[in-house]
Amino acid sequence: MKGARLTLALAAAFFLVAGSTFAQTNINGDWEITITSPQGPNTSQVTFKQDGESISGLFKSPMGELPFKGGTISGNDLKFSFTIDIQGQSLEISMAGKVEGDSIKGTANFGGFADGDWTAKRAGAATAAAPAAAAAPAAAAPASPSALSSAGGAAGKWDVMLQTPQGDFPASATLNVDAGKLSGTFGSQMGEVPLNGTVEGNQLKFTMTAQTPQGDMTVAMTGELDGDSIVNGKADISGLGQLAWTAKRSKQ
């Protein structure tokens, strides 16, 4: 009798374990993911690779492919992150969500700058994907700090430094001043962006539009010209808040 009870107990345990294994959520394959940042929604494709509770994958967009690993799935709770490069600095985008059949819904954190929502659905045949994912974008915005300028003395090349929660982001700027009007370019590893603004006395004001995988992002910059330096700089990045910046006239 005891042997029979033991056998039944072992059998029950086996089926309980097997049942939980069979119930493990499976997200292997292609998904269409839409991430909503402060700049609005954007959709791209992601391929998830699942090994038990371990998740890795690959974001795909016209801008290229971005692999990631180290994610986890426990029950229907999914967590993963990926890193983008902004002017040589790494910015982590953290994603958390719940899987419900062929759909996922969750929240995203853009490197501590901002939060957003995201959804995903298992891809059908072939779906075109807009650039979005890897970028998180919100994170590229910080790379936008652009050139500074001020009265006539603002013209020339400048070494710019933007202060972010992730550390300092260096860039360069070439400024032109003509009758109080400011123009020029801001350069980084991501390319060059034009800027336009005004100079009144030692006060600089200008705006620029950064093109990120999350869409266009407007950056408004102010600062004060102090000899060969620009001080008290403020950068208002649309949807992400305000950051400080400084600049020094380039010696090159």
Tokens representing 22?
Answer: 């069979």
Tell me: the pLDDT tens digits for 111-126?
877 888 999 999 873 3
In this predicted structure, what is the pLDDT of residue 83? 83
d(CA 16, CA 132): 41
Note the Cα 136 to chain centre separation in Å: 2
Token look-up 């990120």 returns 212
Structural domains in the chain plus CATH codes:
28-139 (2.40.128.120), 143-249 (2.40.128.120)
Rounded-to-10 torsion of CA 32, 35, 36, 37: -160
C-beta separation of 224 from 247 below 8 A: no
User: Which residues are bridge partners to 118 per DSSP?
Assistant: 35, 106
Mean pLDDT estimate for the chain? 75
Average pLDDT on 41-52 reads 89
Q: Is the pLDDT of residue 84 over 70?
A: yes
For residue 252, with 0-12 CB atoms within 10 Å meaning exposed, 13-18 middle and 19 or more buried, which class applies? Answer: exposed
Average of per-residue pLDDT across 170-191: 83
Confidence class for position 25, pLDDT limits 50, 70, 90: confident
pLDDT at 196 over 70: yes
Instruction: Return the pLDDT at 41.
Output: 83
This prediction's pTM: 0.45
Report the DSSP beta bridge partners of residue 33. Answer: 44, 120
Q: What is the DSSP string of 161-217?
A: EEEETTEEEEEEEEEEEETTEEEEEEEETTEEEEEEEEEETTEEEEEEEEEETTEEE
Percentage helix, strand, coil for the chain under 3-state DSSP, each rounded to 5: 15, 60, 25
Residues with Cβ < 8 Å from 171, sequence gap 6 or more? 87, 143, 145, 146, 159, 160, 161, 162, 186, 187, 188
Print the SS3 string covering 150-171.
CCHHHCEEEEEEEEECCEEEEE
pLDDT digits (tens, 9 = 90+) for 1-15: 444 443 333 333 333
